[in-house]
Amino acid sequence: MEKWELAKEIYNTSRLTGTFKLRSGQVSNQYFDKYLFESNPALLVEIAKQLKELIPPETEVLAGLEMGGIPVATALSLQTGIPVVFVRKEVKKYGTCKLAEGVNITEKNVCVVEDVITTGGQILLSTKDLRELGAKVHHVLGVIERTKEGRENLLEDGLQLHSLFTMDELIEGEKEHAKG
């Protein structure tokens, strides 16, 4: 599948209109319901096939952020063979009581995986936690980059964002191909 075709599929599958409050507190008149593309096996496989090309070569572990980054990171792991950890927003008080579930990340080059990036707030919080656990984190993979603000916030923390699509690319790509 060509990249523009994938953009069109994500757009048609996931775009909702109305009034939506984002995690950042911002209000948007359109929303990309990430769970609609993440729960579609064929679409998720195609996203992983294209997103894997953006994985930095030094990556030793993929870190899927709770909750939306986990299916994307798992699909990428299946495509590449790179181990994955699942990063909680907070430690549970039962079971293993770990923040990062999965393989050991100490002294490993970890690439954070997220589905949609707006301000990068949760990525920054999770990256801080991963670094405190001994991970070397310098890169973030994302499916959709909603705003430039997220990229700028990540750069300030030494994180390079590699996104498959910007929101503008999804919207403009759909408009262009709708013209036929």
Binding-site residues for 5-phospho-alpha-D-ribose 1-diphosphate, please? 23, 88-89, 92, 114-122
The 3-state secondary structure of 56-70, one letter per residue: CCCCCEEEEECCCHH
User: Could you tell me if 115 and 150 are in contact, meaning their C-beta atoms sit under 8 angstroms apart?
Assistant: no
Number of Cβ atoms within 10 Å of the Cβ of 37: 25
* Tokens describing residue 135: 């991970």
Binding-site positions for orotate read 118, 146
Binding-site positions read 23, 88-89, 92, 114-122, 146
Calculate ∠ Cα 121-82-79, nearest 5°: 95
